[in-house]
Structure 1
Amino acid sequence: MGKKVGIEVSIAAAEAVGLCDVDVVAAYPITPQTHVVEHLSELVADGHLDAEFVPVESEHSAMSVCCGSSAAGARTFTATAAQGLALMSEIVYIASTMRLPIVMFLSNRALSAPLSIWNDHSDTMMVRDSGWIQVFCENGQEVYDAIFHAFRVAEDPRVSLPVMINVDGFNLTHVIEPIEFWTKEMVKEYLPPFKPLNTLHPNKVVSMGAFGMPEIYTEQKYAHDHVLLKSREVLLEAWDEMAKLTGRKYSPVETYKADDAEILVFGMGSICETASIAVDKLREQGKSVGLASLRLWRPLPKDELKSILGKAKEVVVLDRSLAPGAANAPVTSEMRALMYHEAQRPKIHCMIAGLGGRDVTPQDVVNMVEQAIVEKDDDYHFYGVRG
């Protein structure tokens, strides 16, 4: 195992990308993603990373370059946030449909307007159905490890799909945490050389992303969905291999004091560590409360979620995004739909909190649980609305 150092999470992520020996990095700077690609540009400029760093004119161009480089057989990385992802989104859908194994660091940030540079999950929910594998991280070590896992899974010939690593902007990207680094030997053992399924080459002309007539479009979408669902096997396999290598075991859904809990707090990202403190406080008050943290957003780990949520009487979802005018916020909608036909179906509460970077403290989570326990309706609730 490598050394353990206190380091900014974004810098650690860039160091992990460097250890993966990427060939191409294409990115446009946007807060709070910038430190990742800035450090990668330094690694390239200083000769520590033999890669092509492409400083493009926009995020749309960044993902376009990534598609071209990945299609040509290059190990490819990018990063963005919020409005950058919005501008990039046209090509985000193309990357997954063409089955290009790009890895993207998404520094989660609220979408404008009003303008906000702070964290919530509205950007990633915008591309929820883009066909990418999508994971969420709670802390810096998870972010660092997720880089290696993402390349391992994306480039596996059974998968060949892009992977999006969701990292809460500022709340996680800009904090300094102790992180246990990998050695080059560990990376070499874990991550095989990239061998793409298909490549563009002037001597062997192929078409990628060709026109899809109605006669084949549905079948293509079916095939895309099928391979995304099947990627679960490779995701689990790669996490198991990582556990053998590092001693850190990751799962699609993590739980804390959930086995005997009548009430579950449910969330994604760094808010889950905050929620774990709230769970301890509620336990001290004699309340049977636990925590379920969703790491794998796509493909959704349906069986694990049904098993975990089905044991509880009530689930309090901490939704960090909004679907204006809809019946529920995005994550709550997914959980309610998932559990609808289950014999053991908990009451699922929707608490919208932490939008635009508003702080959520352990006491806030305690308050949300207590509010949910006494509520009579199934509506969503904006927690802490002022005035």
Structure 2
Amino acid sequence: MAKKVIETSKAVAIAAKLCRPSVIAAYPITPQTHIVERIADFVYDRDMDSEFLDVESEHSALSACLGAQAAGARTFTATASQGLALMHEILFVTSGMRLPVVMAIVNRALSAPINIWGDHSDSIASRDSGWMQFYVESAQEALDRIIMAYRIAENKDILLPAMVCLDGFTLSHVFEPVDIPEQKEVDKFLPSYSPLYRLDPKKPISMGPIGFPNSFMEFKYQQQEAMQKSISLIKKTHEEFSNIFNRSYGNGLIEEFMTKDADYAVMAMGTITATARHVVEELRKKGKKVGLIKVKTFRPFPEEDIIKAASKLKAIAVLDRDISFGQHGALFSDIRSALQNKDIIINNFIVGLGGRDVTSDHIKTAFDKTIKAKQTITEWLF
């Protein structure tokens, strides 16, 4: 295992290479571009035995991955923002056909106004498309979670596609030390792709036919069952990965920091959690019983783990880098639903939209307002 200081986008590209996808289909879009550029270089230099399809749109990119996956290939793609929005139709087709495509999402705000900087509005808008969603904090975690995503998605009891989400620019363009595992180690952890069914002219089958009213609900029920089953598999896969590579991210669903005796905690996803961790350490030195709960997996939503982690708290500050217009932040809505029977004040703070910096002061303000709150509040921290 070699440690190198590399750009997070390159770490994602290396992760894809280590997973040996047969087909990569992609269309460049800021801030995802560096990922597919690096992969294109790997393929051109013959460091990667894959077909690279440079298609004309993101809709075509995911459509190509869908077709290749249906034919029995392991696939990879990456996108962001309007690109993910353009894929929206095919997101549902991919998950409904139970094709375990893995896709990196370099989180970026959705237009308008046009904005190329990071927030979670793109992937959050796709949260109900039947894809698993994992949110990462560091370059190392981005690499590791892509490897784990394939292992989870391709499990015969799951067969669901997965998004590995990393904050645009704030993480995607940052250089960090990354342990790069040996290919043989990854091959041992992630066997070659062996689908239950595939399109084969010698053994013809139909994939993606019409679902009539007397069968459509059964298809959706099976997807929901698979998504729920993935909760335990995510934990198991994370534990196995940790034992082999000596790295862990909580239990793969959530990660707690200084919560054992905490009265108040911040909950968040992505790079915000790195800043929040330092704020927690600073406030602890001042005698405040505060902690941090990082939500690592948003779909499936880890409801039982959230309840267990939060049940001892007096109040929670949920930081959302998204907004569900007419409601609240998406993470807040799910957490409030999970904790509806608990006597806990849950506050929502909308932060960091369109790449706005989320500073230590923002998080201190969220803590201060939450400690003082007598009832639930929702505020935008500019």
Q: Which residue of 2 aligns with 1:62?
A: 61
Do 1:83 and 1:111's aligned partners in 2 also have CA atoms closer than 8 Å? yes
d(CA) in 2 for partners of 1:259 and 1:48?
46
1:331 to 2:331 alignment? yes
Q: Which residue of 1 aligns with 2:358?
A: 360
Q: Which residue of 2 aligns with 1:311?
A: 312
Query: % of aligned pairs identical?
Result: 43
Do 2:115 and 2:354's aligned partners in 1 also have CA atoms closer than 8 Å? yes
d(CA) in 2 for partners of 1:149 and 1:98?
21
d(CA) in 2 for partners of 1:136 and 1:169?
12
d(CA) in 2 for partners of 1:210 and 1:289?
52
Q: Deviations over 1:4-26 (max 9, x none)?
A: 01000110110111111110000
SS at match of 2:270: coil
Q: Which residue of 2 aligns with 1:128?
A: 127
Report the AA paired with residue 16 of structure 1: A
Q: Which residue of 2 aligns with 1:273?
A: 274
Do 1:63 and 1:88's aligned partners in 2 also have CA atoms closer than 8 Å? yes
> Number of aligned pairs?
380
d(CA) in 2 for partners of 1:246 and 1:142?
12
Report the AA paired with residue 157 of structure 1: K
Listed as ranges, the matches of 1:116-195 within 5 Å are 116-195=115-194
Report the AA paired with residue 26 of structure 1: A
**Backbone CA RMSD of aligned residues:** 1.1
Q: Which residue of 1 aligns with 2:302?
A: 301
TM-score scaled by length of structure 1 = 0.96
SS at match of 1:214: coil
SS at match of 2:25: strand
Q: Which residue of 1 aligns with 2:105?
A: 106
1:233 positional shift: 2.4
Q: Which residue of 1 aligns with 2:348?
A: 350
Report the AA paired with residue 293 of structure 2: A
TM-score scaled by length of structure 2 = 0.97
Do 1:329 and 1:380's aligned partners in 2 also have CA atoms closer than 8 Å? no
d(CA) in 2 for partners of 1:234 and 1:349?
31
d(CA) in 1 for partners of 2:227 and 2:46?
37
Do 1:160 and 1:197's aligned partners in 2 also have CA atoms closer than 8 Å? no
1:286 positional shift: 1.9
Q: Which residue of 1 aligns with 2:286?
A: 285
Gaps of 5+ in 2: none
Report the AA paired with residue 339 of structure 1: L
Gaps of 5+ in 1: none
Do 1:133 and 1:298's aligned partners in 2 also have CA atoms closer than 8 Å? yes
SS at match of 2:347: strand
1:90 to 2:89 alignment? yes
d(CA) in 2 for partners of 1:260 and 1:63?
46
Q: Which residue of 2 aligns with 1:341?
A: 341
d(CA) in 2 for partners of 1:275 and 1:53?
39
d(CA) in 1 for partners of 2:314 and 2:376?
14
d(CA) in 2 for partners of 1:153 and 1:286?
41
d(CA) in 2 for partners of 1:12 and 1:293?
22
Do 1:265 and 1:316's aligned partners in 2 also have CA atoms closer than 8 Å? yes
d(CA) in 2 for partners of 1:347 and 1:259?
18
1:377 positional shift: 4.6
Report the AA paired with residue 116 of structure 2: I
1:83 positional shift: 0.4
SS at match of 2:193: coil
d(CA) in 1 for partners of 2:17 and 2:139?
17
Report the AA paired with residue 113 of structure 1: A
1:52 to 2:51 alignment? yes
d(CA) in 2 for partners of 1:278 and 1:124?
27
Report the AA paired with residue 164 of structure 2: I
Q: Which residue of 2 aligns with 1:381?
A: 379
